[in-house]
Amino acid sequence: MDSADNKSKNEPLAKQNDYLWDRSGDPDPEVRELELLLGQFRYDRPTPALPQIAEGRRGSFFSHLRPFPALAAATAIVAIAGGIFFLIYGRNAPPMAGQGWEVSRLAGVPRIGHKAMRTDRLGHLGVGQMLETDQHSRASLEDSEVGQIEVDAGTRLRLLAMRNGLKQIALDRGTIHAHIWAPPGEFVVDTPSAVTVDLGCAYTLTVDDSGVGILRTSLGWVGFKLNRRESFIPSGAACATRPKFGPGTPYFADATPEFRAALARFDFEDATSQQRAEDIAAVLAESRKRDALTVWHLLSRVEQEQRVRVYERLQQLAPAPAGVTQEGIRRLDQRMLDLWWNALGFDDISIWRRWEHSWSEPTSQTPSAAAKALSATAISPAREVTTAGCVQVLPGLLLTLQLSLASLAL
């Protein structure tokens, strides 16, 4: 009697479940809703010819799920979701847990995130983490393949990237002393007003709470960049930077006070052409042979009517090499500018150009956005999977679902 009752109770369910196999019977509302959602991705090509299955091997994993159609559908949907998850995240895997800098406590109690370093035990700064020192603490970062960074008191920095071809930090405020032996262009520091690119060097970089910064190079040379404004700072030179302006014009630390004061006004204060002309005149009058570094940078920063004047003074300090003409410099011919830079004896500018050409910075980018663009495009290929890309693979995944469900009928 009980068996007969159970059979009677199960008949409506079986009748509903027939819709999954041959679309007969009344559809379950949830199944119908899922069918409408997935209908736009319907695979409408001819069904591929499948090899004949031997009689003794007709059973499959899905055939064992035939008595449980809801479980079979759920299993297939989970398989599709797993495939999409892999496509989205599998190619853009986060950095390995071990990637980062070793952190040593030099004084006081530095903090990595919320964790205080109260002992001499080494800490680890991972991607996305922040290192902060108060007014009484200092720390040191080290990586055997990159270099060493001493972190002064009152500093906050973040590790943005640590992978082959790009080691990138953000200096929000404070002072770091970087000694880098990684290949040129691999170590990058993002500041509130410019992106600093190591070109094989040692340097000190300071940023105050307002975002004003200054970089001093003690070995090799450094590139400073914001949008199309770029500065090259060789050993013994310095360069200031300001929010909304970007890097100023590099100068040697032993330049006269009058030279440095006029240059600072020209870079960050002058509001009229007359003011700029007067300060350029003061810089040129105070310039020495060694100050060809500054005068070369001014070629691309002065207004056109002042460019010939700057050209003539640079000719006196460091005569132009063959292939460089006044007319070419007047129209800022990049090849001629680069030839003249190389003749100054600081370093080969092609090292910088090689990295610059792989950057794609719109002129309206902020320094932070510029550093993100560098992170995404300068060193490694983009690894993002777009929504459109996921949609393109859905028909194939849905075909797998159809074949899986069809196997239940075997």
Q: Say whether both 178 and 120 belong to one domain.
A: yes
Domain of residue 50: give its range: 2-92+390-408
Determine, yes or no, domain membership for 359.
Answer: no
Determine, yes or no, domain membership for 186.
Answer: yes
CA 161/CA 265 separation, integer angstroms: 36
Contacts with 69 (C-beta within 8 Å, 6 or more apart), sequence order:
17, 20, 408
pLDDT grade for 62, boundaries at 50, 70 and 90:
very low
CA 214/CA 233 separation, integer angstroms: 11
DSSP per residue over 165-228, as a string? TEEEEEEEEEEEEEEE-SPTTSEEEE-SS-EEEEEEEEEEEEE-TTS-EEEEEEEEEEEEEETT
Instruction: Give percent of the chain above pLDDT 70.
Output: 65
Q: Say whether both 66 and 158 belong to one domain.
A: no
Asked if 178 and 189 count as a contact pair (C-beta separation under 8 A), the reply is yes
Q: Say whether both 53 and 181 belong to one domain.
A: no
Structure letter (DSSP) for residue 232: E
Q: Say whether both 262 and 244 belong to one domain.
A: no
Between 267 and 64, the higher pLDDT residue: 267
pLDDT grade for 165, boundaries at 50, 70 and 90:
confident
Could you tell me the two tokens for 268? 């960050």
pLDDT grade for 370, boundaries at 50, 70 and 90:
very low
Q: Say whether both 309 and 172 belong to one domain.
A: no
User: Which pLDDT score is estimated for 42?
Assistant: 65
pLDDT, average across residues 352-358: 70
Q: How many domains does the structure of the chain reveal?
A: 3
Summarised one tens digit per residue, pLDDT across range 16-27 is 456 666 666 777
- The three-state secondary structure class of 14 is helix
pLDDT, average across residues 326-351: 92
Question: What sign does the CA torsion over 78, 83, 87, 90 have?
Answer: positive
Summarised one tens digit per residue, pLDDT across range 99-125 is 899 999 999 999 999 999 999 899 999
Determine, yes or no, domain membership for 354.
Answer: no
Asked if 128 and 101 count as a contact pair (C-beta separation under 8 A), the reply is no
Q: Say whether both 214 and 329 belong to one domain.
A: no
Q: Say whether both 108 and 236 belong to one domain.
A: yes
Q: State the number of CA atoms in the 13 A half-sphere of 284 facing the CB.
A: 21
Q: Say whether both 283 and 155 belong to one domain.
A: no
Nearest to 206 by CA among 248, 251, 154: 154
| Longest CA pairwise span in the chain (Å) | 114
Q: Say whether both 236 and 374 belong to one domain.
A: yes
Residue given tokens 């004896």 in the structure block: 345
pLDDT, average across residues 140-150: 95
Residue 322: count of CB within 10 angstroms of its CB: 7
Could you tell me the two tokens for 286? 């105070």
Q: Say whether both 73 and 109 belong to one domain.
A: no
Summarised one tens digit per residue, pLDDT across range 167-203 is 999 999 999 999 999 988 899 999 999 999 998 889 9
- The three-state secondary structure class of 75 is helix
**What are the backbone dihedrals phi and psi of residue 149, each rounded to the nearest 5 degrees, phi first?**
-130, 120
Q: Would strands 138-143 and 147-151 be described as parallel, antiparallel, or unpaired?
A: antiparallel
